[in-house]
A and B are shown apart, each in its own frame.
Chain A
């Protein structure tokens, strides 16, 4: 009975989404307050019904209701509780429910935090979000209901894919989806602005914090996915240029461009058309990602089960969304003014260059991802496009971008003198060049690529430190309404602090990637009990193998002692697990993580002579990559919390003018 109520809740949510999508837009067009007000209550109602559906599906998992097909194919009587809870989004239908739930959540958040927006703007934003929700909830109801019955019910479920039985499943999909779905908000703001014909600095200021939060979640989601794959798949890789990973990287690239373009639109009133275009593009790429992953057009480790009707639904949906958005853009876009003017060498130019590089990088990833699909569809043969291709086109684009990232934020708006910038930063340039050239020697032998990576990483870090000091010295003393004891950093504004934190994270990541690619070491060995293998100066000794009984698997667990010369490090316990429910072996790697290196052992098959196949890795600076992701996430969140977004929308600035707001408002008025 409950699953039928779940389906009913989905249908009700669909109807409410339809109301949310149609009535407020109608109201905004006619200036009808009552119709506009429907948006908020419909958004809340939609969210509540989606949440009910989600709870019912969770309940079906917890009670092992195998008469629900989705539960039967993704759970099992022996599945541990935490994976029963996260198995809810372990497959196509359930993850789609999570997606829709999060979209509802974002709608509710917009209705809470944007109360002070003009009524017609809020109505249009919620309306667009409602229409997007119609597409996703409809997709679920018509092609992929998680409440489909399986009669007669099997005695036991087929079990969750063992690869997904990991804490990674608990955190990775929810964060990633929060990011994906979050980009609906800037899209909705952009469409609302096109509809209302008000594409101004205020619009950019409203959508900036939302974009930053969505971007932060997407960054964290991708980072968590990579972190998970790194230890779960057992071969030490952390980015595979797999189509599904590319599907998340593409909106990240354009989303990053959007974040930067919004900054210019808010502060200088320029690039409006381009910013709108990026908002549309980013959302379209999240749809493309959903299509690639869920339609079965590609083969990937992460792809969901194949069903042609889903593919055609998503393709149709994507065509409608992109078609309508672009027509609207073509109709309304050109009416938007040019905005403030700026010189050849200025912050604006730097940000435009950033956008050009990011968008071209995204296009290259897109090209490589769909090229094999297109050739195949045209009957021109089957080819593969893999890591060697992506590395050779992506890397040359990232090098100039990182160089730009170093000095870009120090260049003045409107006009600056390149020679002066060079003079300001010449010591930093010299420092990062010299130290960058020497640093690789501390890790291994020198190579040009490693030296370039470390130079760029240092260059970014050093310019950030320099810029923060300069600004702290230049920023005027604490304004009276700011508590006198507030830290000096507060004066910089959270927006600035968040930006520099994110940039610093990027620099850490550049260094991490450089070293782990350039200097990782890996050994494939046959180990007998008691034998030692030396990798990168560390001795790994297989002490023994024992049989371990897990909650729903049996494992052979190796005990590997690790010595750094004389010093003993924590013992590693790599496992080879067998899940009887799916007759599937799984490798569980064991790691010793550190700031400057990870040691990584994974266990392979046993051999007839009593030895074991094992892989032993030395991964220098691996954690700098994850640390970089974390800093970028925090940077995005902190920037979104900047008080000027709240003050401006709450219109509290009238009573107490915030100097930051005034300073930023001034240039946006020009042009």
Chain B
């Protein structure tokens, strides 16, 4: 990932140096961390006027404005949390595709893992009772009465 970022940074530099021959990047960042922060933010924030699209996906005017705004904030050195807080203060929790952990979202975040534990527990319980049945059966099968043993021998011999 890091060398990939270095490569893209290098490409960026080349792009800048080669003006106006090369294409202009729309966004130029101070460092790769900033670019990564920006890229993950625009993908995790929702375009509030669209059907169900992130800021990154959407071409709505509002999404473009917000992308520019986030770009500006990130470039001025804003941390991820600052941008998120700013967006939530303006548009509410609805804007976050990754809901924040709160009493309201505990069930959402912990539900799957709790369910998995319950399901695995049930599975283990079923398996244990099943295999106990089985050991009981093989135990019975192993202790034949002499008559049964004789009959079994006869049957086996007859089959050959």
- Which residue numbers of A lie inside 8 Å of B, CB to CB? 233, 235, 237, 240, 242-243, 299-301, 303, 341-344, 349, 352-353, 356-357, 359-360, 363-364, 367-368, 371, 375, 380-389, 393, 397, 444-445, 447, 519, 521, 523-528, 531-534, 542, 604-605, 611, 613
Contact = CB atoms under 8 A, between A and B. Distances in A.
Nearest to A542: B23
A533 B22 contact: yes
Given A235-B56, A524-B25, A388 B93 contact: no
Contacts, number: 143
Nearest to A524: B26
B52 A299 contact: yes
B155 interface: no
Q: Which 6 residue pairs of A and B lie closest in terms of their CB atoms, listed nearest first?
A: A386-B97, A388-B98, A364-B112, A533-B23, A341-B134, A382-B94
Contact of B21 (A235, A341, A381, A532): A532
Interface string B77-94: 000000000000000111
Contact of B99 (A344, A389, A531, A611): A389
Contacts of B33: none
Determine which residue in B1, B23, B94 has the highest number of CB atoms from chain A within 10 A of its CB, and name it: B23
A357 B127 CA distance: 16
B60 interface: no
A375 B103 CA distance: 12
Contacts of A528: 20, 23
A342 B51 contact: no
Given A359-B119, A386-B54, A532 B1 contact: no
B2 interface: yes
B25 A525 contact: yes
A356 B120 contact: yes
B26 A526 contact: yes
A368 B130 contact: no
Q: Is the interface of A mostly helix, strand, loop or mixed?
A: mixed
Interface of B: 1-4, 8, 11, 14-15, 20-27, 43-44, 46, 51-54, 56-57, 59, 92-99, 104-105, 107-108, 111-112, 115-116, 119-120, 123, 126-128, 130-131, 133-134, 137
A383 B115 contact: no
10 contacts: A349-B127, A356-B123, A368-B108, A371-B107, A384-B46, A388-B98, A389-B97, A444-B4, A447-B1, A533-B15
Contacts of A381: 92-93, 104
A526 B24 contact: yes
Contact of A525 (B3, B26, B95, B133): B26
B97 A360 contact: no
Nearest to A450: B1
A352 B122 CA distance: 11
A363 B112 contact: yes
A152 B2 CA distance: 64
B2 A384 contact: no
A631 B157 CA distance: 50
A533 B23 CA distance: 6
B23 A445 contact: no
Contacts of B21: 531-532
A317 to B, nearest CB: 25
B97 A387 contact: yes
Contacts of A341: 130-131, 133-134, 137
Contacts of A364: 111-112, 115
Contacts of B3: 444-445
Contacts of A527: 23
Given A384-B46, A384-B95, A360 B119 contact: yes
Given A242-B52, A389-B98, A360 B115 contact: yes
- Tell me which of B2, B21, B52, B96 has the highest count of chain A C-beta atoms within 10 A of its own C-beta: B52
Contacts of B99: 383-385, 389
Contacts of B43: 387
A43 B91 CA distance: 53
Contact of B97 (A388, A534, A604): A388
B84 to A, nearest CB: 12
Q: Which of B21, B104, B130 has its CB near the most chain A CB atoms (within 10 A)?
A: B130
B97 A384 contact: yes
B130 A397 contact: no
B115 A353 contact: no
A367 B111 contact: yes
